[in-house]
Amino acid sequence: MIPRFRPSIGLAEFLALFRVRRNAVQEFEREFASRMGVSEAVAFPYGRSALWAFLRAVGIRDADIIIPAYTCSVVAHAIALSGNRPKFVDIRLTDYNMDLDALADAIDENTRAIVPTHIFGYALDMGRVETIVRDAESRYGHKIWIIEDCAHSFGASRDGRLVGTYGDTALYGLNISKIITSIFGGMLTFRDEGLAAKIRIWRDAEFQKPGLLKPWLRRLYLLATFVAFNERVYGFTWWLQTKTPLLNRLTKAYHLDDKIHFPPDHLDRMLDVEASVGLVQLEKYGEIVAQRQRNAAWYDEHLPERDDWTLPPIVDGATYSHYVIRTNDRRTFLEACAKHQVELGQLIDYSVPDLDPYKVEEQCPNSRVASETVINLPLSIPESRRQMVLDAIGHCP
């Protein structure tokens, strides 16, 4: 079965699991920064820990932090756990990114930071975000931090400029579902070396050395992932996931959408073994992104127009964390494709302001529409597999 996503890991990553250099984390930080076109990077055990730490380290408390309504729930959880409140701005259905007119209206005197997210690898117009924020800063007389969320958009650019090179800091997630992975892990990048140094010192004081067993559990996890996502085995993985509670139970400690919650090891430092895998992934990074772009372009060209779906926008510089189609009949598509050995994804199937802990009066209708209608096609597949995806979709009634 063709999985909805598949980490691009192979022999080099396995060798990296057992040839771990002592200062791999520092090396990973340096290489990461250089790849992302900035001067500094600071590593964390998860993306969510990185966001939480940033808000704490710069001293933002009891404030509103603006985020898009359509994003990963961990962003809101990190804000809540840092002692702040997420404030939601609706998205546009044209590219699923935050509506910048609505952003300008949402900022008020309680706003201390915003998290502009480049969702699905589509770069948001950061020039405009900066203008909106500078205006608001002069109106309210205090700094408003800009934290770009690049967890979906490694390497994406707009008018030739990379995402992650605008705000005060940029956030990356590195779990196995991201474009590149360090098993788990998260990263903040900086253009300002003084700010990076401050965050690094704060991290070193607050985050602890992980237990001796953890590097081995992480190795085991990566090996299991590799097996589980193998095309020949994936039918079984899919069965475990959809027909039994087993895998969900295993991932519960790590991820819950409707409860404000962090995994128990969220204050551990990134492991050298994780950084070691991340370093290999950075070497492959150009090719990984290029493959996704080639597959997306092929889908753009070959997917037929249908009345019952909306194809993804074609945007220059997009790197496609996900190739998303909107349809009112998501279940039919998912089931029909699964019968033909192709798994489609149903990612972010909630609008964050509709989740239990955040229930708010104000509506974000576009975010809700996206959460109810988006499906995504496999992208990390070899060229020889594309036609199989197309055929499976062709069988959808």
* 48 part of the interface to ligand PLP, by CB under 6 A: yes
Q: Which of residues 178-207 bind ligand PLP (CB under 6 A)?
A: 186
Q: Which of residues 224-243 bind ligand PLP (CB under 6 A)?
A: none
* 88 part of the interface to ligand PLP, by CB under 6 A: no
Phi, psi of 327 (to 5 degrees): -150, 145
Among 71, 84, 237, 380, binds ligand PLP (CB under 6 A): 71
Among 3, 155, 173, 312, binds ligand PLP (CB under 6 A): 173
Nearer to ligand PLP, 72 or 289 (CB): 72
Nearer to ligand PLP, 53 or 392 (CB): 53
Among 42, 43, 53, 74, binds ligand PLP (CB under 6 A): 74
Nearer to ligand PLP, 102 or 179 (CB): 179
Among 63, 72, 106, 271, binds ligand PLP (CB under 6 A): 72
* 47 part of the interface to ligand PLP, by CB under 6 A: yes
CB of 388 to ligand PLP, least distance (A): 27
Binding flags for ligand PLP, 89-128, as an x/- string (CB under 6 A):
----------------------------x-----------
CB of 74 to ligand PLP, least distance (A): 5
CB of 357 to ligand PLP, least distance (A): 17
Q: Which of residues 141-160 bind ligand PLP (CB under 6 A)?
A: 149, 151-152
Nearer to ligand PLP, 81 or 337 (CB): 81
Residue pair 76/67 in contact (Cβ under 8 Å)? The answer is yes
CB of 248 to ligand PLP, least distance (A): 16
Q: Which residue lies nearest ligand PLP, judged by its C-beta?
A: 47
Q: Using alpha carbons, select from 109, 117, 61 the residue that is nearest to residue 88.
A: 117
Enumerate binding residues for ligand PLP (CB under 6 A). Answer: 46-48, 71-72, 74-75, 117, 149, 151-152, 173, 175, 186
